[in-house]
Chain A
Amino acid sequence: MLKIDSLTKSYGEKRAVDDLTLHIEKGEIYGFIGHNGAGKTTTLKSCVGLIGFDSGEIYVDGVSIRKYPIECKKMIAYIPDNPELYDFLSGIKYLDFIAGVYGVGEEKNERIKALSEAFEIADDLASPISSYSHGMKQKLAIISAYLHDPKLIIMDEPFVGLDPKASHTLKVMMREHCDKGGAIFFSTHVLDVAEKLCDKIAIIKEGKLVVAGRTEDVKGDDSLEDVFLELEEKDD
């Protein structure tokens, strides 16, 4: 579903992502772990087409994001780490806007109802986004991501700001999405969640892939936290 081949991206002299290769298959929840500044967000943004990259290639369901960004974006939904949504719109108008862009027909009504009730913000949809808390904005961003039933969802720290119930709802939805043949690629610092939720995990350090594979293979008999800390210390 998502194929990252030898991705390299530099900011001036600093190489943010260095020859990164990852393959995410249909039905997989793929966790992306690394310390602050490791290159996670740069990778995710490159996959969504928010930033260009120096070399390598990214394919979404076999389509190159560099050559056919619009076709790729039709298959993707993206949730950034700090969702700055249109605060001049109400929640419902924002969702209507997203549905319009993706060409979702009148079935959007049912989807909005179901998703907003699942995340308990149905009553707040008429209020302007400027009045929303960080958590509510995050919920709205998640709802907007699921609205067009994307093949691939890319999320940057999706659990930040969510209350425990919403976190649980999101985890269930992530699993359901992948069980239906979709794929999810997300970054997180919450290693417990990654350990329990992800089918596969990749750990990145200073732009380079340190380890990647099935969660049980990566962590072995230890906890993911132990593995992560050990890898961090080893290279230091």
Chain B
Amino acid sequence: MIRRLVAIRLRNAFLNSISGKDKNGNARPASTGRLIGFAFLYTFLFFVFFGMIFTMSMPIAMLLVPQGSSDLYFGIFTLLSLTVIFILSIFETKSELFECKDNELLLSMPIKTRDIIISRVSVVLIYNYITEAIVLIPVLLSYMIYGGSPIGIFGSIVLFVTLPLLATALASGVGYLVALISAKIARFKTAIVTVLFTVFFLLYFVGLNYLTENMDAIFEYVEGNINAIADKFSFIGFIGRASLLAPLPLVIYLAIAAAASAICVFLISKSYLSIITSSNTSEKVVYKEKKLKATGMLTALVRKELARFTSSATYILNGALGYVFVLIIAGIIVFNGGIPIDIDPELAGDVGMDFEFSGETIAPFVIGAFIFCYSMTLMTAASVSIEGKHFWIVKSLPIPAKTLLLAKLIPSMLISVPIALITGIASAIASGVSFIYLLLYVTVPMAAAVAFNFIGLVFNCLFPKFTYLNEAEVVKQSLPVFLTMMVNLLLSLGAFAVLAIGAISGGGEIALLAILFLFIVISVSLYFLLAGPLSRKLENINI
């Protein structure tokens, strides 16, 4: 039964996103060509991430493995893998376990509750194995290239098999706690859940920051102080030794993973029914008549979009995480009274940065960082799909597709434009730059944010997915979100490279203007694409 439930769930999650449409817009099974195309695309994306991790792990392996510090090497990447899986699956577990639309249907059937829970957790576990493969296989390859031992290879396989269990158990535990709390409260559920998840995220980034800051210490002292480092980073040392099959750490690690999984399933089983059955209850409020003002079509649609966005913590946190980072960076600049950067002039000279360090010379890097953060805003990439079963409403109303798409863009603009304006002005003033740079501080990130919103909407129009069992399927895992993430990432990295070259060669302003021009061209081009062929595509979708 568990196997069947998992198979149905995976089929729904994957095949729905690649099913084709006939000339009338009716759904039909994916053709062989389409299957091959998607297989190629997913393989390509897999190897892009795979390559990124491989590139990152190579120098670290080169530094640590030949010197006999394999435990530190595995410790670092196991921790990285654990945090990546944990963060990526934290929303997934809550949605998968407690918010699937077929929960009540399954519970009405002669299926054990425990089997439903295990099947749900197993689905998350499968996703987590895929994530882990992207992280740990390149790590293992780097290890082998730099002369890793057979024990290390075998140990990393043990780790590969067991690590997602631990990560899934931890994420399920957090998802369970959040679901339990939100089941007990009647009002402000979204706000409370958003705050809870934000706190978890902040804790994660504080931890990551601590680790990053201390990485210098690791490299600095690595040659002579392995034991001291292992003591200082006891978890890294411990998990690293477990990966090298040291008996005691291995046994303790396996016991923790098994116990966490068992406790997780036990706890969820205890409250599963009460959480699920309370998920749709909200406080009843008696309506007191208020005079409603007349509104136009676009206002009504934008209000609806904003209400949809703010109704879901999963949507808010996945769609708007980039804005949080922008605010954090701007906050650091403002509170620091400028850019907190301390570059060794000798080192700068070595890489050709032979200019005076000032707010203006550093500005392209800061703006590049803002652009990178905006690339993580994915609101529009799920905005069409999230209509789901409600799509008939806008289809049956006299709404031109162009207006509908505009209404899907405006909420993200309403958030990104003021943020770009405020953070740009504040950062420019705090950095003490000229008026021209102040304008660039505002316009370049704003143009990037707008372009990223357009990109998300275009991908969602190209690959809408209206059938889903839980929100995370469209907000986190859907193809348009994935493609938007990739394209935004490549664009932001490309922009950063251009800005960095411009800054180093003394042409920061020109580089910024070029990037501004690029993002404006992208937005304008995509606007015409949305207003023309993609509007027609949306009009022809059958319900």
Using CB atoms and an 8 Å cutoff, list the residues of chain A in contact with chain B. Answer: 11-12, 45, 48-54, 69-74, 76, 78, 80, 84-86, 88-93, 96-106, 108-109, 112-113, 122-128, 130-131
Contacts and interface: CB of A to CB of B under 8 A. Distances in A.
Contacts of B307: 86, 88-89, 93
7 contacts: A12-B22, A50-B396, A76-B396, A93-B307, A101-B301, A103-B297, A112-B292
Contacts of A86: 304, 307-308, 390, 393
Interface of B: 22, 24-26, 28, 280-289, 291-297, 299-301, 303-304, 307-308, 311-312, 389-390, 392-393, 395-400, 539-540, 542-543
Contacts of A106: 291-294
Given A50-B542, A101-B300, A131-B280, A84 B396 contact: no
Contacts of A92: 287, 292
A97 B294 contact: no
Name, among B25, B292, B397, B540, the residue most crowded by chain A CB atoms within 10 Å (CB to CB): B397
B303 A49 contact: no
A12 to B, nearest CB: 7
Nearest to B281: A131
A52 B543 CA distance: 10
B398 A70 contact: yes
Nearest to A104: B294
Nearest to A50: B543
A128 B297 contact: no
B300 A97 contact: yes
B98 to A, nearest CB: 15
Given A85-B390, A106-B293, A52 B284 contact: no
A88 B308 contact: yes
Contacts of A128: 282
Contacts of B288: 126
Given A97-B301, A101-B301, 8 more contacts: A73-B397, A84-B392, A85-B393, A89-B307, A97-B304, A100-B296, A123-B286, A123-B287
Given A97-B303, A109-B292, A130-B280, A84 B389 contact: yes
Given A12-B28, A88-B307, A101-B301, A48 B396 contact: yes
Contacts of A104: 294
B542 A73 contact: no
B295 A100 contact: yes
B285 A50 contact: no
A114 B281 CA distance: 28
A51 B308 CA distance: 25
A73 B400 CA distance: 10
A5 to B, nearest CB: 18
Nearest to B396: A78
B296 A126 contact: no
Contacts of B283: 127
A126 B26 contact: no
B284 A51 contact: no
Contacts of A53: 24
Contacts of A71: 398
Contacts of A51: 24-26, 542-543
